[in-house]
Amino acid sequence: MRSLVWLPAIVLGGCDAFFSPPPQVSPAEIGEVAPRDVSPTDPNLSANSTAEQRELIGRVVRVADGDTLTIADSAGRQHNIRLVGIDAPELKQAFGKQSRQALSRMAMGKNARVLWTEKDQFGRTLGIVYVGDLNANAELVRNGWAWRYKHARSAELSAAESAARQERAGLWSDTNPIPPWDYRRQEQRNSRRR
């Protein structure tokens, strides 16, 4: 079975060009691909990124939550991947487990392609994940299992979230879903009071 994941690391933004399907890849091609040059002024990259763009190909071996998974490359090295441009509910939050299950159904055990330029403060690779022709980042938002990250500038993610809200899909079936960034902030406040 042919599957891919393609993740560009765009911390604060997104570009529709990054949300179009990458070319197909065979399982024999699994591994890290040589970097390719990207202009530091490329609007598709985050404001903080001057790094070269890289592609990572591997098999999804773990799904931690609705926006984080682990890929094993051909050498067996594991890479933690944070799906860029989206924010899924925390596991203890309403719809958190359903969000993780949705990503698991899409990606677990399948080959994936990630296009990225940088890592976050936790060492996770930031990018867009493709499994086959399916953009997992956009699909989670489209089906109501994640929010478009509040700083993401992708028209595709904006449209996907608008459609999910209108259809009351996933977490939008709740009358007042709490964004994960608000949930985390409230949890921090509560932990300080204890």
Q: Known catalytic residues?
A: 82, 90, 124
How many helices (H) and strands (E) would you count in the chain? 4, 9
Residue carrying the six token digits 């399907």:
21
| Tokens read off for 86 | 């989206």
Residue 136 in contact with residue 108, Cβ under 8 Å?
Answer: no
DSSP conformational letter for 19: G
| Tokens read off for 52 | 């070269």
